[in-house]
Every structure is written in structure tokens, then in C-alpha cells.
Amino acid sequence: MLQLYTWDPNSNSGKPIFMLKEKGVDFDFHYIDLLKFEQHAPEYLKVNPSGTVPTLVHAGRSLTESSILCEYIDRAFPGPSFTPADPAQRYRMRLWCRDVDTKYAPALSVLGWHMFMGPMVRKMDPDELKRRIDRIPLKERRIAWSTAIKSTFTEEQLQGARDRVAQWVRNMDACLERTAWLAGPTYSIADIVTFANAYALPVSQPQAANRDIAPHYWEWLRRIYARPAIRAAFEMGRTPLAARALEMIREFAA
């Protein structure tokens, strides 16, 4: 049986869950709770020595890097294809995935840490938190986590992240005014990778991601939320993020 080690269906953690559900592939789900630093537990480090999620174990190989994993899943398993056959559309698919990963996910990370991850982690017992950080295998990641936990973002940094996300929504809306889906006329990995990061923007950034400002993005969200595979993926989550996504499914269906 295919083994998937990941967190909630959110951002990088969610991409392979969405893909496997869309492909109809059965898998064993190993929930790695990032809020408890389980990605750095000794038993998980045997699977992925870098201590990152997601990890897909297939045919004796441990595979990482969430967007690349989506293409691997699409090619390695039977079921509908989510990679366009047309070269130009396939190019656009990969361009969207690259831009999400390099341009917009870092801005979302700033906002997500500020609004959710940071407050949650800082509620932990300080001694226990230190023990968990000390077991992170990579020195640079230990430093990054220690710095992030102690730090708060300036208003300038937060506004810069909000501006980047707002531009992203405008770009999506302009693209979706021209084509039904991000890479062209068919639902593709570009939509799955982007949705994994953009599904909650109406809640977290309502000033930029709303029906009036971005009607084509809004309709795109509605159509993806209506997909049975997406609902099944969110039903695997355990955090308030997944619960809110299930609420949005009901709201879009109303």
C-alpha cells in the first residue's frame, strides 16, 4: 500500500492528498502534526531525514517536494490525467506551479505564521518547545524555527505580504476571465497546487479575495470546492483550517 506522511490538507501538505483523491488512488495516511513538531520525531526521520512534509513512499522510495510529487502521482498511477497534453498548456501549468511556490507561498507563510502557527506554537510549554526544537536534525532549520518562534513581523512586512497576495488574486482572476482553468480549458495540476494555497483566502484575506473584486477567482473556488475529491481530502484534516474549509464547501453549495 502507498504510504503518505503529511499534515492537514493545507499548502504543501495538502497537494499530494488532493492529487491522490482526484486520481482515486488508495493510500495509508500517516498524520504528521506540525504543531507538535512530529516531523522531527525519530520515527519520522527514518522516513525523511530532512524532517519535512509531505513524504510519499512508493516502490521502496521516499519522495518529497510537493509540487513535483503531484506530477509524479499523475504519471505513476492510473486514473484521469491532470497534465495537459498540449505543450503550451503544460508550460502554463508548470509556470503557475513555480510562481505559487516561489512568489506567493512565502507571502502566505508570513501571514499564516502571524495569524495561526505562531500563536499556536507559542502556547506550548517553553521547556517542551526547546526540547522539540533541539531534536530538529538540520542546524539551519533549528535556527529558523527558533527565530520564527521568538519573532513577530513588522507591519511593513505584513503589509508587503498582503500586497503580494492581493496581486496574486488579481493575476488569478485575470487568467480565469480568459480560460476556465489556470492552464487552459481543463482542470490540471496548476489548479490543484494553486488551490492548496489559495482555498482559504476569502477568510484570511477578505479585502483582496472576495466575490466583488475577483468574481472569476470566486467561481473557480466554487467549482473546485464542489469536487468530491476535495471534500474527501478536507475530511482527513484535524485542525480548524480543515473544519473551515468544510464550512466553505457548504456555503458555496448553498
More confident: 67 or 41: 67
Q: 29 pLDDT exceeds 90?
A: yes
Average pLDDT, the chain: 92
Every domain range in the chain assigned CATH 1.20.1050.10: 87-253
Q: Tens of pLDDT along 55-66?
A: 999 999 999 999
> What distance in Å separates the CA atoms of residue 144 and residue 150, rounded to the nearest whole number?
10
Q: Which residues are within 8 A (CB) of 152 and not within 5 positions of it... i.e. 6 or more apart?
A: 114, 118
Helix axes 189-198, 215-225, angle to 10 degrees: 100
pLDDT at 54 over 80: yes
The answer on pLDDT for 116 being more than 90 is no
pTM listed for this prediction:
0.91
Domain 3-76 has CATH 3.40.30.10: yes
| Higher-confidence position of 135 and 226 | 226
Say what the pLDDT of residue 133 is. Answer: 80
Q: Above 80 in pLDDT, residue 147?
A: no
Instruction: Output the pLDDT for position 117.
Output: 66
pLDDT > 70 in the chain, percent: 94
Return the CATH class of domain 87-253. mainly alpha
3-state secondary structure the chain: CCEEEECCCCHHHHHHHHHHHHHCCCCEEEECCHHHCHHHCHHHHCCCCCCCCCEEEECCEEECCHHHHHHHHHHHCCCCCCCCCCHHHHHHHHHHHHHHHHHHHHHHHHHHHHHHHHHHHHCCCHHHHHHHHHCCCCHHHHHHHHHHHHCCCCHHHHHHHHHHHHHHHHHHHHHHHHCCECCECCCCHHHHHHHHHHCCHHHHCCCCCCCCCCHHHHHHHHHHHCCHHHHHHHCCCCCHHHHHHHHHHHHHHC
pLDDT at residue 109, as a whole number: 85
Q: pLDDT class for 101, splitting at 50, 70, 90?
A: very high
Number of Cα atoms under 13 Å in the Cβ half of residue 250: 6
CATH 3.40.30.10 residue ranges in the chain? 3-76
| 155-199 residue pLDDT tens | 898 899 999 999 999 999 999 999 999 999 999 999 999 999 999
Model confidence at 143, pLDDT cuts 50, 70, 90, reads: confident
Residue 78 scores a pLDDT above 90: yes
Average pLDDT over residues 217-246: 96
C-alpha distances (whole Å) from 181 to each of 35, 53, 54, 176, 184 are 34, 27, 26, 6, 5
pLDDT at 175: 98
